[in-house]
Chain A
């Protein structure tokens, strides 16, 4: 690995910069740690660089984070796996800093190195490190240790395995909630590395303790553990041990715990199998869909499609659909919005008839919701329904909804609906589009808000792509070009922008015959901003049109602009001329 492929001078600089006052320089240097190591050679890296880094633990978070990351891939630079041990001390130190993201990265790197270590090194170095951290004086060390057990455990001798399980159990009862949270978070990973008999005894008793923790924040994480553990256990054990816990959690006093259950429940259905799902999880889920707390209903509503995908359609129609109907008129707009963002996905699950009969009325009511986000969420997923029942049944309600959103007083809402216009166009087809939506697209080009005009110009281009140049020539281009005579220069600028976007889609002929004359004409505008934008647009047209057109039309216009009294106009005209020179030279 001793490759010295960079000159020595920069290496000296990099090493120097590791100690520089300027954080940016230190950061640069840390990110090129492998270069430094290669230059130093394996031995000096082990004996000088790594000890130096070990002392450097009170630096800025960003530097420490970069260091934690680099060290994780450093085995080749210290001489391979047999020397990988030397990387443990600096990472151990990083496991004790207070910044969570640095600790997490150090743990990640330790896991990466631990997975490659020789068995002997694991037993002699890695496991003692885990034990040191687990008995650390301050909580940061103990928090970090929890994420290392699943690497340490598999290769440990039996006596040590027992000890590691005991230590993990102690971490789950630590005085500090932060440590218990970390133990709960990592329990699934640790459990996966533990042998089946111990899993059913030791790990499940640890899990039981965590599920009864006083701290809501710990119980929350135990909920996450349910799904992970459930997948490790045999279905009958899962039903015996995990199912009662999750049913309990679904009725926890704390809404945050119920919120977590609402988010996770569908994952457990597969682990317990169909019968317990029907008898226990469906009732629990129905309760969550009707929870008193809106936040819980938001989480439950957001998972309704995922949950129903696991159930059979009869159960869905019988138990879940009545709740969905209630949620579509929920008092919280955020619940309705969460429902609207997933409900369209239920159509393929229920099939055509049930969708028309049961879901369509809900779609229609959500399309008329007073809250724009709800309507937008329905519109954004139209394609999922289109595949099942076609668009016709919806189109009557769709148009008023779109028009209202298009004229919403909040520009962000208008922006959101513009983004969906190409999707709508492709779903609704040319006919529907021509009649109803064409005018809206033109209207947005004259919006008061720049972001809307910008999005509108982009929209015009995407429509031309969707329906092709012929259609665009008939339905968009003339209307767009008409607006170049608008008295306000900002609107004229939008049109220039639209032209530059349309040109590549429309092709050379239409660009020369229709678009270019308008641009050339605009070069006579009295506003300098228009004129230098003309120069920019002309520059963008050069690769599209024929060389003769460049010579005959574009260059003379640019030459004229390059003598304009305005300095910016001259600048951009000069730039465009230069680029036309380059095109000529290369051709």
Chain B
């Protein structure tokens, strides 16, 4: 929990505004090409070193990419870790391999179809020269090993962690101890040992005795990056709970609760729905937690439970449209969020394949909107991220004509069908990978 001060006390004055440039696109859509449902990307994750990137899709496939600009044979991994990358280079990836992680299934006991869609991917520590990762759909988590055999790459499912969740799995997260991980569904969080697939321990259970009393569900959970005993989970009521595995075997009571009291004046039918947190992420140093709800990004200091240290407006301009968004279910879209490795910036997705990057260092008013195309800056929609901040750069709106179904009062266009839900920040560099439908875009600054 210490050392977080460095983030805030960074170089004198706010860091420079980042100049984002397009780097790469994989699976770009040609004009008029119809997107196949199964090809839509549903998970993105960099590994710890940033040398590998994995995506999962609705068709149950996992695709791996590897970094090409740092490949340097004969240098050990440890040396590479110590080495700073030469300035001027930016991460470039190439397709490495892909494999079918999950297949559609049918639960005969409950008469339920189980989709193959990959909900989350998490990389694991590498025990040897192979790559290891966890992938999960709604019900089943799998542990994969990817090795090169002769000339080809082979993915083998090493373990299957099944039958432990009655509800849909929304998160998996590795512990810093390297031997355990958690999986969270709507009502429960289970703790697993990576080596043992036939038993898990239930550590959080929010299921009420009577389901009619249910008012809150778990939406996301993550282990602290360095403290093996701490984990955080978010809820549909907009709260984040920090729990300490040391205190008790069953962690139904939290150590800390983070929530922002709502202003009674702004209360409406939608208040509870838009308060729901769709994603939380610990900053690398473990002191801050970033959360995303429908309207905002919030940054929390785990030493301060009175309220967020910063709030970034992402969708404020949609407030008048909440009724429409409710009608077409968009209000339930689950946007992910991410932090830069240095903790100075945060990012999250939006509609019309846009994503937004905010500076969170003190004094920073950075708020950039980018579009997941080859020309990310071609549409800069600037909406004030914090009321106090001035608009520093130009506000230029490029309309996309026929593709744009709606334009709001400010001239901001939005297209609910093209939403950018999934994105990830490179662990050591200013590079973001994000998914626009079936296409993976990588940007750098």
Contact = CB atoms under 8 A, between A and B. Distances in A.
> Is the pairing of A and B real?
yes
26 contacts: A97-B128, A98-B127, A98-B130, A98-B158, A99-B158, A138-B128, A139-B126, A139-B178, A176-B178, A177-B177, A177-B178, A181-B179, A214-B227, A214-B228, A216-B177, A216-B229, A217-B177, A217-B179, A254-B246, A255-B246, A255-B248, A255-B249, A256-B245, A256-B246, A294-B249, A295-B249
A3 B36 CA distance: 65
B229 A254 contact: yes
B147 A58 contact: yes
Interface of B: 76-78, 125-130, 132, 145, 147, 149, 158, 176-180, 195, 226-229, 245-249
B125 A293 contact: no
A140 B178 CA distance: 12
Contacts of B227: 214
Interface string A118-161: 00000000000000000001111100000000000000000000
Contacts of B248: 255, 292-293
A176 B147 contact: no
Contact of B77 (A99, A137, A181, A216): A137
A256 B247 CA distance: 9
A96 interface: yes
B132 A98 contact: yes
Interface of A: 58, 96-100, 137-141, 176-178, 181, 214-217, 252-256, 292-295
A294 B149 CA distance: 49
A138 B177 contact: no
Contacts, number: 71
B357 to A, nearest CB: 31
A59 B428 CA distance: 35
Contacts of B249: 255, 293-295
B149 A98 contact: no
Q: Is the interface of B mostly helix, strand, loop or mixed?
A: loop
A99 B146 CA distance: 14
A176 B149 contact: no
A178 B229 contact: no
Contacts of A292: 248
A176 B149 CA distance: 27
Contacts of B77: 137-138
B229 A139 contact: no
Contacts of A97: 127-128
B78 A178 contact: no
A139 B147 CA distance: 17
Contacts of B127: 97-98, 138-140
A98 B246 contact: no
A219 to B, nearest CB: 10
Contacts of B246: 216, 252-256
A178 B176 contact: no
Nearest to B149: A58
A96 B176 contact: no
Nearest to B248: A293
A96 B130 CA distance: 11
Nearest to A217: B177
A176 B88 CA distance: 32
A139 B149 CA distance: 21
Contacts of B178: 139, 176-178
Given A98-B128, A138-B127, A216 B228 contact: yes
B206 to A, nearest CB: 20
A256 B228 CA distance: 12
Given A58-B149, A255-B247, A256-B246, A138 B179 contact: no
Contacts of B149: 58
A531 B60 CA distance: 54
A177 B176 CA distance: 8
A99 B158 CA distance: 9
Given A215-B177, A215-B228, A178 B195 contact: no
Nearest to A98: B127
Contacts of A98: 127-128, 130, 132, 145, 158
A137 B74 CA distance: 12
B176 A137 contact: no
Nearest to B77: A137
Contact of B125 (A58, A178, A256): A178
Contact of A176 (B76, B125, B132, B228): B125
A58 B125 CA distance: 19
Contacts of A255: 246-249
